Amino acid sequence: MESKGNLSEIQNQEHAILNINGATVVEIENARLVKKLEQKERENAVLLSLSNSIASIRNKLDLFDVIDLKLKKLFDFDDFVICLINDDQQTHSAFIYNQKEDFLKTAGIAPESSKKYTLDDGMCRAMISSEKPIVFNVEEVLRWDDAPAWLSFWHNKGIKEMIGLKMVDRSACIGFFYLYTKNMNSLSNIYFDLLQGISLQISIAISNIRANEKIEQQLLEINAYKQKLEDEKSYLQEEIQHKYNHTEIIGQSKSLKGIFHLIEAVAATDSTVLITGETGTGKELIARALHNSSLRSNELMVKINCAAIPASLAESELFGHEKGSFTGATERRIGKFELAHNGTLFLDEIGELSLELQVKLLRALQEKEIERIGGRDVIKTNVRIIAATNRNLLKEVEKGSFRSDLYYRLNVFPIPIPPLRNRLDDIPHLTAFFIERISKKTGKQVNAISKSALNKLMLYPWPGNVRELEHLIERSILLTSGNILKEIHLPKTDRNEAINNTDEQKIKSIHENERDHILSVLKRCKGKISGIGGAAEILNIPATTLNSKIKKFKIKREHILNK
C-alpha cells in the first residue's frame, strides 16, 4: 500500500512539473509575441515618423538630413548613398550622398552625381533580382570578376560591410539604397522588412524631389524667357524710334547691283560679314538686307554701335552683367550677345572698340560662349556676326590699334559700299524716294524735283553720302512752298562754290563758259554721255547734240580724265 502511495505521489509531482513547464513555454511564447508586437509597433512608429518627415521634403539636402538623423538612431551604420538609374537604363549615378568637404577630400574619388556607373556588375544584378535587402562583405566582393568600379572608394575609407536593396516605383527599379559600416556583422541583424518599408518611403521622397526640381527648372526657364521678351521689347522700341530705318535699298547702279549679288551669295550662310564704306553710305541697310535674307530672319538682328557707348560700359553692353557686379548695376541685364541668340549681331563701327575689349570679343567669337560681368556661368551663344566700319581696318592693324587676329576673324566675307559720288546713277532714284517719304512725314505736297535742282545734286561731291542727301532733301522740302522742288539748298563749301556762285566766276565768253560747263559735267559723269545720269540728261540736251558740241569744242578724253 505504501509503494502505491509513493507512486501516486511521484505521478502527481510529474504532473505538476509538466504543468509548470507548460506554463513556462506559454509564458515564453507570449513574451516573444509581445516583444514582436512591440517591435512591430516601433517599426510602424518609425515608418510613420519618417513618412511625416518625408511629406515636407522638397530637396536633396532635406532628404539627406532626414535619413542621417533618423535612421542612425535605429541602425548601426557609418554612411549611406542613394543611387538612381539614368535615362539610358544602362547606368546609375549617385543622387544623394555625403557632400561635406572633409569627406570629399579623403581617399579615392568621391561618388559625384556627374559620374555614371554601369548596371552590369555583380552587386547591381544581385539587388535587381532580389526582393530582399542583401548584405555584402566588401573584401569578398572586391575579389569578384564583376565587382563594381566604385567599391574601392569605400574600401579605402575603411568600410567592411554594406547592405544594399533596390528602390521601386510602380513596380520598376529606379535605383539603389546602400548603408555602409566599418564593423563586421553589424548589419546582419537589421530588420529587412523595416528597411524595405523605409526604402519605399525614400522612393516617394525622390519622386517629390524630382517633380519639385522639374518645376523649379521650368520656372527658371519661364523667368529667363520672360526677361528675354522684356529685353527684346525694350530693344525693339528703341529700334522703332531709330530715325534711319529704311527697309529697302534704293538704286539701280552697276555698283549697287554688284552689292546685291554679294548679299545673295552670303545671306543664307552663317559666314561673318564685314561691311566697309564711308559714313552715310547705308552700311546698316546692307546688314538688314543680309539678315532678312538669311535663315535667321525670324529672329532678332541686334545692333550695337561701338562708337556710341562709353568704353567703361562697352563690355556690359556686349556680354551683360549680374546685379551688384559694379557700381550702378542695380539689376541683372543680359547683353547684346544673349539678346541676339539664334539671330544676328550687328557690330556697327567695330573699329572704335578698345584693344582690351577686342580680346574679349575675339574669345566670344572663337569659343561661341560668353560670361556676364560678375557672373560665374558660361553662357553658350549662337549668333551670326555682321560688322561694319568706316575705317580702313588693315591700316589700323598696321598702326597697332586693331588686332590682326580679330580683323581676319571678321573679314571672312567683305562687302565694300561705294560712296554716293561713285554711283551717280542712283541719285535720281534716291531723290524720288526721299521726296515721297519726307513729304508724307511732313505733310507737304511736294511730289517732284526740277531738272535744274536735280543737276545740282548730280554735281555735288556728297561727302556725307546718302544720309547727307536725305537730310538735304528734307531741309529743301521744308523750305519750299510748291509741289515741285525747284531749289536745293546746298551747303556753302569750297567744293561746290562753282555750283552756287557762278556769278562770281571770272567773266568768260559764251563759248568758253559753254565748253567749261560741258567739260565739268562730263568729268562729273566720268565721261558717260547717254542714259540715266549721263551728261546729256543732266544738260537736258539730246546725246547726238552733246556729241556734236564735244567735237566742236575739241574736248578729248584726256581732258575729261584730267582733274
| pLDDT tier for residue 389 given thresholds of 50, 70 and 90 | very high
**Residue 315 pLDDT:** 86
What is the enclosing helix (H) or strand (E) of 419?
none
Q: Which of 90-94, 105-109, 233-237 has the lowest mean pLDDT?
A: 105-109
**Residue 127 pLDDT:** 93
156's CB contacts (< 8 A; 6+ apart) are 106, 107, 108
How many angstroms separate the Cα of 428 from the Cα of each of 105, 125, 450, 455, 520?
78, 84, 11, 10, 19
CATH 1.10.8.60 domain locations along the chain: 422-561
| pLDDT tier for residue 199 given thresholds of 50, 70 and 90 | confident
200: left (phi over 0), alpha (psi -120 to 50) or beta: alpha
Three-point CA angle 20, 26, 27, nearest 5°: 85
CATH 3.30.450.40 domain locations along the chain: 76-189
Backbone dihedral angles phi then psi of residue 308, each to the nearest 5 degrees = -95, -10
Q: Is 555 exposed, middle or buried (0-12, 13-18, 19+ CB in 10 A)?
A: middle
Distance of CA 56 to the CA centre of its chain: 36
DSSP three-state, residue 514: helix
Which pTM was predicted? 0.52
294's CB contacts (< 8 A; 6+ apart) are 267, 268, 269, 344, 384
**Residue 243 pLDDT:** 42
Which of the 8 DSSP states describes residue 116? -
**Residue 509 pLDDT:** 66
Say how many C-beta atoms besides its own lie within 10 A of residue 465's C-beta.
21
Span 5-50, pLDDT tens digits: 566 666 666 666 556 555 566 666 766 676 667 666 766 676 677 7
What CATH number has the domain spanning 422-561? 1.10.8.60
**Residue 529 pLDDT:** 84
- CATH match for 76-189 among 1.20.1730.10, 3.90.180.10, 3.30.450.40, 3.40.50.2300: 3.30.450.40
Backbone dihedral angles phi then psi of residue 144, each to the nearest 5 degrees = -70, 150
DSSP three-state, residue 346: strand
Three-point CA angle 507, 511, 517, nearest 5°: 80
Does residue 506 or residue 265 have the better pLDDT? 265
Calculate helix-pair angle for 543-552, 510-524, nearest 10 degrees.
120
Does residue 509 or residue 155 have the better pLDDT? 155
388's CB contacts (< 8 A; 6+ apart) are 274, 275, 276, 277, 283, 284, 286, 287, 346, 347, 348, 349, 350
End-to-end, the C-alpha distance of the chain in Å comes to: 168
Q: Which of 41-45, 129-133, 357-361 has the lowest mean pLDDT?
A: 41-45
pLDDT of 123 over the 80 cut = yes
Say how many C-beta atoms besides its own lie within 10 A of residue 449's C-beta.
24
Question: How large is the C-alpha radius of gyration of the chain?
Answer: 44
Instruction: List the beta bridge partners of residue 211.
Output: none
Sign of the CA dihedral running 242, 244, 250, 253: negative
C-beta separation of 389 from 350 below 8 A: yes
**Residue 493 pLDDT:** 59
**Residue 107 pLDDT:** 39
**Residue 193 pLDDT:** 76
**Residue 350 pLDDT:** 95
Does residue 298 or residue 507 have the better pLDDT? 298
How many angstroms separate the Cα of 75 from the Cα of each of 131, 161, 163, 218, 307?
20, 13, 11, 39, 70
> Alpha-carbon distance 530 to 458, whole Å?
15
Q: Is 377 exposed, middle or buried (0-12, 13-18, 19+ CB in 10 A)?
A: exposed
Does residue 216 or residue 540 have the better pLDDT? 216
Pairs from 557-560 (Cβ < 8 Å, separation ≥ 24): 557/527, 559/519, 560/519, 560/522, 560/523, 560/526, 560/527
Sign of the CA dihedral running 319, 324, 326, 332: positive
pLDDT of 241 over the 50 cut = no
pLDDT of 237 over the 90 cut = no
> Alpha-carbon distance 231 to 225, whole Å?
10
Domain 254-417 has CATH 3.40.50.300: yes
